[in-house]
Amino acid sequence: MSVRVINADELRALVKFEDLIEPVSRAFQESSAKQAENGLIVMFPAATPELGDVVIKTGTLRGHRVYIVKVSPWFKVNLERGQPQGGFIGVFDADTGHTLALLNEEHYLSDIRTAAAGALAARAFAPTRIKTAAVLGSGVQAYWQPQALYRERPFETLLIWGRNADKANALKNRLIERLPNVEIRVASDLEQTVRSTDVLITATLSREPLVRGEWLREGQHITAVGADDPTKCELDAVALQRARVFVDSIETTVSNGDVLRAIQQGQYRPESVAGEIGEVLAGHKIGRTKSADITVVKLVGIGAQDLAAAEYVLENLSS
């Protein structure tokens, strides 16, 4: 039985993050309705965690005709050389287990399905009107997430904060083309950046908290996408304590990133999480109860998202 191999260039030509917003919304809702199995393994084959990791995610959704296994490496050397990351999504027949396709995605589908999740976070949790948005970071998600936010909640000003000023300015120049109606500025003061924004996006590789809860103000929303394994952290425990925290998967989130760090420190409990984003999208829980609420959507990523992306690809390739 032949296996179709779909390369990254085909995927980039076929699917944009906007195409995945509604499929990912359905996947979140089905996952929160206990219709999914989302597996997650994180490996660190490089000399230190900072140099590289490999995330393996599995995803099934009850009643769907396929399931997926994703191998998603991130190695610093690729970033330094300006080349794509490796990785693929294996798509399998849910009735027979036969391999249907290998999506040689070079992290592209992973990136845009995360952008789709960010758009949904904005839709369900961000204030209705936004004047200023800010992104911490200058990498791939720092590029995608402001675009995802703008699609759901147009804003006037975007602040970019990054440790490397050259990379932050390069990101600014890329986003000017994508967000021509937005004033984009590079910021140097982290605290002031956090304090001055209506919606904050955290998209860094930080392994220690960057955002302090005391800096947050009423009505803010944070979409946190950077801390996606047990070694990383962007938000301190006070930020979580002050906010209504929603996650893509409670099981996954309590074992990774900001929530895990706060639990390990004895400053947060798993039951303090307000719910899953899928529960809010389905109307089973309320995200923002009043305008003064501080909301956090913590995205680690679940296999059901990748399954939704893979289904979209296969359906549109054959159409």
Q: Evaluate whether 210 touches 238 at the Cβ level (below 8 Å).
A: no
Spatial distance between the Cα atoms of 69 and 296, rounded to a whole number of angstroms:
28
Greater pLDDT, 228 or 157: 157
> Is the pLDDT reported for residue 2 higher than 90?
no
Residue pLDDT, tens place only, 106-125: 999 999 999 999 999 999 99
For residue 110, what are the contacts with CB-CB under 8 A and spacing of at least 6?
A: 70, 72, 87, 301, 306
Q: Is the pLDDT of residue 61 over 80?
A: yes
Per-residue pLDDT band for 67 (boundaries 50, 70, 90) equals very high
Q: Bridge-partner residues for 222, per DSSP?
A: 200, 296
How far is the C-alpha of 153 from the C-alpha of 162, rounded, in Å? 23
Q: In sequence order, what are the residues at sequence separation of 6 or more whose Cβ sits closer than 8 angstroms to the Cβ of residue 28? A: 117, 120, 248, 276, 277, 278, 281, 304, 305
Mean pLDDT within 28-32: 97
> For 4-109+304-317, which CATH class?
alpha beta
Helix (H, G, I), strand (E, B) or coil at 223: strand
Of 3, 67, 62, give the one whose Cα is nearest residue 306: 67
Q: Assign domain 118-301 to a CATH class.
A: alpha beta
| Region 170-191 average pLDDT | 97
Q: To the nearest 10°, the Cα dihedral for 106, 309, 250, 241? A: 70
Nearest 5°: the CA angle 5, 6, 10 is 160
Q: What is the number of other CB atoms lying within 10 angstroms of the CB of residue 34?
A: 8
Instruction: Specify the DSSP element, H or E, that contains 101.
Output: strand 99-104
Q: How confident is the model at residue 261 (pLDDT cuts 50, 70, 90)?
A: very high
**3-state class (DSSP) for residue 10:** helix
Rounded to whole angstroms, the Cα distance separating 78 from 47 reads: 15
Average pLDDT estimate for 209-225: 97
User: How many degrees, rounded to 5, is the angle at CA 281 between CA 277 and CA 283?
Assistant: 115
Residues 222-246: b if buried by 16+ CB within 10 A, e if exposed: bbbbbbbbebbbbbbbbbbebbbbb
For 235, which DSSP code?
Answer: B
Domains 4-109+304-317 and 118-301 share a fold: no
Q: How is residue 287 annotated by DSSP?
A: S
Measured in degrees and rounded to the nearest 5, phi and psi for residue 313 equal -60, -50
One-letter amino acid for residue 121 of the chain = A
CA distance 25 to 13: 22
Residue pair 261/254 in contact by the 8 Å Cβ criterion: no
Q: Where are the domains of the chain?
A: 4-109+304-317, 118-301
pLDDT at 318: 62
The percentage of the chain sitting over the pLDDT mark of 90, rounded to a whole number, equals 87
